[in-house]
Amino acid sequence: MPLVDPVTMTKPKEETETKAAKPKPCCVCLDEKAARDDCLIRNEDGETKCGDLISSYKSCMLGYGFKI
């Protein structure tokens, strides 16, 4: 059961701010993701040829708190 303030009938401010401050993973690092995906699609051995783009995407996601 989620914690709710009985007076205002809303979630505590800290919990709502945390969720609002962190974006969804689909909405960040779009340029890095597009470059990585394009490289992987165009190269048969994408994991070795696109390593720098994959690392760039992972670093960007980590910057937003997503561990992939």
Q: Would you list the domain boundaries of the chain?
A: 24-63
Q: pTM for the full model? A: 0.68
Q: Answer with the residue of higher pLDDT: 3 or 40.
A: 40
Q: What is the distance between the alpha carbons of residues 33 and 2, in angstroms, rounded to a whole number?
A: 34
Extract long-range pairs of 33-42: CB within 8 Å, 24+ residues apart.
Answer: 33/57
Task: Give pLDDT, residue 22.
Answer: 85
Q: Positive or negative CA dihedral for 37, 32, 50, 47?
A: negative
Q: Answer with the residue of higher pLDDT: 11 or 30.
A: 30
Structure confidence by residue, pLDDT tens digits, 24-60: 999 999 999 999 999 999 999 988 999 999 999 999 9
